Amino acid sequence: MLEKLSVIETRYEELGKKIIDPEIISQTSEWQKLAKEHAELEPIVLKYREYMKVKKTLEEDKEMLKEKLDDEMKELVKEEIAENEKALEQLEKELKLMLIPKDPNDEKNVIVEIRAGAGGDEAGLFAGDLFRMYSRYAERHRWKVEVMSTSEQGVGGFKEAIFMIKGKGAYSKLKYESGVHRVQRVPETESSGRIHTSTATVAVLPEAEDIDIEINPNDIRVDVFRSSGNGGQSVNTTDSAVRITHIPTGMVVSCQDEKSQLKNKEKALKILKSRLYDKMLREQQDEIAETRRSQVGTGDRSERIRTYNFPQGRITDHRINKTIYQLEAFLDGEIDEMIDALITSDQAEKLKDVG
C-alpha cells in the first residue's frame, strides 16, 4: 500500500510542475485534464503525508522508550504511542478506501432512461412510478431534473421517459440503478385481486462532455418531423420534432417535447453523446477480467436487480440480498438506505484488490 501511495505522491508532484508550465497552460484541454487529475490526487496525497508524519512520530516515541526516562515521562510517551497507534490504524483504513480506483464519472450529471418492459399497461404505470421516485430523490438532494424526452401511455404511465439529473455526485449515487426492476402488485383494473408481475428497465448514463466524446457531423443524419401527442397547437403544427441517426452504430434518438426544433436537436445530441460514451465505457469494462469486476458496480441491463412487492410492502435488492419494508417512502424518493448499502458492498468488493 505504501509503495502505491509513494508513486501517487510522485505523480502529484509532477502534475504540480506541469500545470504551472506556460506551454501546457496554452493548451487548454490538456491543462484542464492535468489540473483535474492533480485536484483528484490532492486529498489522498495530503492523507498519505499525514499518515507518514504520525508513523515517524510513533517510531521516534518507541525509540525514546529505550532511553532512560523517569516514570512520569515514560507514562506520557506510552500514552502518546497508544494515541498514535490508534490514529495510524484509522488513517490506514481511510487510505485503503481512497486507494479504491475512483470512477472518473462519479461527479457527473446523469441521463436516466426508463422503459416499460413486460406487463402491458401495468409496466407503463410502474415506469411512471420509477420516474417519480428518481425525481423525488433528486429533489431531496437539491438536484435539478430536466425532462429530455417522453413517450406517454394512454392509461397514465410511460412507454419511455428520458431525463437528466443535474447535481454534483449524481452518477456516484445512481449508477447502481441500471438493470431490470420488477413490480408485484394487484392492478386497479384487476377485479379478482390477482397479483401481476411487471417490469421496467432503467439505464443510468453519465453525461458525456465534449472532452469525453466527439461526434463527427458526417456520421449523423438529422430528420425533422411533426410532433405527435399532447403538446399544444404550436407543437403539432410545425416540424419541430427531431430524429438523429448515428450512422456508424445505427443508434437513433428522437426528441419532440420542446416547441423549438433547435432545442429538440440539442437534447437529442446530448442523449446520443451520452449513449455513445456509455457504449465506449461498457466496451472497456468488458475487457476487464470477470474476476476483477465489481459485484454490483457494472449494472448489467439485462439483470433483474430489484423487486418491489406491494402486498408485503417490501423492496428487495437481489445483488446484495437486502430488503427494506418501507415501500411507500421508498417510492417517494427515500432510497438512500439502499444506495448506501450498494456503495458499501461495492467498496468492500473493491477493497479486496487494495494491498
Number of Cβ within 10 Å of residue 302's Cβ equals 7
Sign of the alpha-carbon dihedral angle for 174, 105, 305, 343: negative
pLDDT at residue 355 tops 70: no
- Element holding 3 (H helix, E strand): helix 2-18
Tens digits of residue pLDDT in 101-142: 777 788 888 989 999 988 888 999 999 999 999 999 999 999
Q: Which residues lie across from 113 on neighbouring strands?
A: 162, 203
Closest residue by Cα to residue 157 from 196, 197, 117, 205: 117
Mean pLDDT in residue range 36-43: 89
In 6-60, DSSP assigns E strands to none
What pLDDT score was predicted for residue 320? Answer: 92
User: 83: which residues sit within 8 A by CB, 6+ positions away?
Assistant: none
Q: What pTM did the predictor assign?
A: 0.67
List the grid coordinates of 49. 503525508
Q: Which residue do the cell numbers 408481475 mark?
A: 197
The more confident residue out of 70 and 202 is: 202
Mutual angle of helices 28-65 and 71-99, in 10-degree steps: 150
Q: Which pLDDT value is given to residue 285?
A: 63
| Span 57-110, pLDDT tens digits | 999 888 888 887 888 888 888 899 999 999 999 998 888 888 877 777 888 889
Cell of residue 94, nine digits: 481511510
Question: Quick count: other Cβ atoms within 10 Å of Cβ 343?
Answer: 16
pLDDT, position 149? 81
